[in-house]
C-alpha cells in the first residue's frame, strides 16, 4: 500500500483513529455535524480505496458503483443496516464493523432506560421543574419495582446477554429470551430459558430488544404484539428503530396496553419533535446514545481504523461481516 491510497471519513471521529489513518493514507474528513450530502459522497468515493462510514450514511449499490477501486467500507458501528452487504460482497469490497466494544455501554443504557421509565424519572423531573410538584403525593408518580420481575430479552447476543446479566444479578430477575440461536452461556450462567415469542410477550414484565435489523425483525413489534403484553409491562429498545411500529406503539401506550417504553433508537433518526411519542408521558426517547461514552467511542474508532487500514492494504479485516468477500484485483 502506498500513502497515495485515498480515504474518506464521513464525520469527525475520535482523533486517535484519524491519526492512525492519516499515517498511511491521504485522508479527507467531512467536517460538518450533519451527514455529507449524497452528491459529495458520490464524487469523493470515486477515487477512494476506503471509506469510514457512520450509521447515518447510506452506502448502497449505486454509491459503490461510483467507486473505481473501493476496497473497504469500515463502519463506525456494530450495526451495518446502512450498508448493502450483498452488493459490497459482489464487488469484492470488505465491510468492517465494531462488535464487542460497545456491549457494556449499550447494556448500561438499556438498564438506565428501564429504571427511568419504571420509576417515571423523566416525567416527574419535568413536573418538578415546571411547578407541578405541589406537595408530597401518596398517589403521585407511582411506578414499577424491578426486584424479581421477569425480563424477556429479544435477541440474546452479546448486548442482550450483558443486559440480562445486569438485571439477573442486580435485581434477581428470571430471564427468558427469544433468539435465532440458543445461547448456552446465558442458559448456564443466568439460568435463561429460551421461549417462543408469544410466551415472551405474555410472561415478561420487562422486554428489552437487542436484535439486529433484518427483513425478519423489521416491524417485529406491532399492535398485535403490544396487545399480548401485560398492561404493567415495559418495553426497551436499544437496537434499531424499525424493529417496532411506532404508530402502533404510540397507540398502545395511549391505551395503556403497556405501562411505558424507553427508546434509544427511532425511525427515522432524529425523530421529529412533533412526533406523538414525545407527547406521551410514559415514553422516554433519547437520541441514540447507547455507545456514547468516551471509552467506547475511542475503542470503536480504534477498531474502525484497524479495519480500514487492513482493507486498503488488501489484508483480512479484524472484524468483518462479509468474510466471504474476495478482493477483486484491478
Q: How many alpha carbons fall within 13 Å on the CB side of residue 67? A: 27
Nearest one of 64, 133, 138, 131 to 95, comparing CA atoms:
64
- Interacting span for ligand DGY (CB under 6 A) from 36-44, 74-82, 254-262, 309-317: 74-82
Piece in contact with ligand DGY (CB under 6 A), picked from 26-34, 278-286, 288-296, 319-327: 288-296
- 160 makes contact with ligand DGY (CB under 6 A): no
Give me the least distance between CB of 55 and ligand DGY, in Å please: 6
Site for ligand DGY (CB under 6 A): which residue of 59, 64, 77, 95? 77
Is 288 one of the catalytic residues? yes
Closest CA to 108 of 291, 312, 230: 291
Tell me the C-alpha distance between 81 and 79, whole Å: 6
290 binds ligand DGY (CB under 6 A): yes
**By the rule CB under 6 A, 167 interacts with ligand DGY:** no
> Is 147 annotated in the active site?
no
DSSP 314-326: T---SSBS-TT--
Active-site annotation holder among 120, 158, 178, 240: 240
**Would you call 33 helix, strand, or coil by DSSP?**
coil
Set 178, 288, 297, 299: catalytic member? 288
User: Do you find a cis peptide bond into 268, omega within 30 degrees of 0?
Assistant: yes
Query: Nearest CA to 40 among 20, 26, 58, 22?
Result: 58
Examine the residue annotation and report whether 158 is marked as an active-site residue of this protein. no
Matching residue, cell 403497556: 258
Map residues 6-45 to x or -, x wherever contact with ligand DGY holds by CB under 6 A. ----------------------------------------
Single out the segment in contact with ligand DGY by CB under 6 A; choices: 75-83, 162-170, 203-211, 251-259. 75-83
Which residues are catalytically annotated?
Answer: 240, 269, 288
Amino acid at each position: 500500500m502506498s500513502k497515495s491510497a485515498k480515504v474518506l471519513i464521513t464525520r469527525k471521529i475520535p482523533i486517535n483513529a484519524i491519526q492512525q489513518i492519516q499515517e498511511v493514507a491521504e485522508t479527507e474528513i467531512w467536517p460538518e455535524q450533519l451527514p455529507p450530502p449524497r452528491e459529495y459522497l458520490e464524487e469523493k468515493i470515486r477515487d477512494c480505496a476506503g471509506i469510514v462510514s457512520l450509521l447515518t450514511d447510506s452506502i448502497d449499490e449505486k454509491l459503490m458503483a461510483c467507486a473505481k477501486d473501493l476496497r473497504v467500507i469500515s463502519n463506525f458501528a456494530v450495526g451495518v443496516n446502512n450498508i448493502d452487504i450483498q452488493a459490497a460482497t459482489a464487488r469484492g469490497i470488505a465491510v468492517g464493523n465494531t462488535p464487542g466494544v460497545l456491549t457494556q455501554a449499550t447494556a448500561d443504557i438499556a438498564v438506565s432506560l428501564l429504571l427511568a421509565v419504571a420509576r417515571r424519572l423523566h416525567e416527574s423531573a419535568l413536573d418538578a421543574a415546571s411547578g407541578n410538584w405541589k406537595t408530597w403525593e401518596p398517589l403521585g408518580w407511582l411506578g414499577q419495582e424491578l426486584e424479581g420481575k421477569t425480563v424477556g430479552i429479544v435477541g440474546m447476543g452479546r448486548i442482550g446477554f450483558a443486559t440480562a446479566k445486569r438485571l439477573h444479578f442486580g435485581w434477581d430477575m428470571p430471564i427468558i429470551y427469544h433468539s435465532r440461536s440458543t445461547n448456552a452461556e446465558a442458559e448456564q450462567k443466568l439460568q435463561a430459558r429460551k421461549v417462543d415469542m408469544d410466551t415472551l410477550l405474555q410472561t415478561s414484565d420487562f422486554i428489552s430488544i437487542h436484535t439486529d435489523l433484518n427483513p425478519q425483525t423489521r416491524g417485529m413489534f406491532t399492535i398485535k404484539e403490544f396487545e399480548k403484553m401485560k398492561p404493567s409491562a415495559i418495553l426497551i429498545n436499544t437496537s434499531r428503530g424499525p424493529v417496532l411500529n411506532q404508530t402502533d406503539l404510540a397507540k398502545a401506550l395511549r391505551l395503556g396496553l403497556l405501562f411505558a417504553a424507553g427508546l434509544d433508537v427511532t425511525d427515522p433518526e432524529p425523530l421529529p419533535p412533533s412526533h406523538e411519542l414525545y407527547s406521551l408521558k410514559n415514553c422516554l426517547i433519547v437520541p441514540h446514545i447507547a455507545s456514547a461514552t468516551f471509552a467506547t467511542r475511542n475503542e470503536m474508532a480504534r477498531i474502525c481504523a484497524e479495519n480500514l487500514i487492513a482493507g486498503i492494504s488488501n489484508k483480512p479485516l479484524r472484524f468483518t461481516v462479509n468474510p466471504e468477500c474476495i478482493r477483486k484485483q484491478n
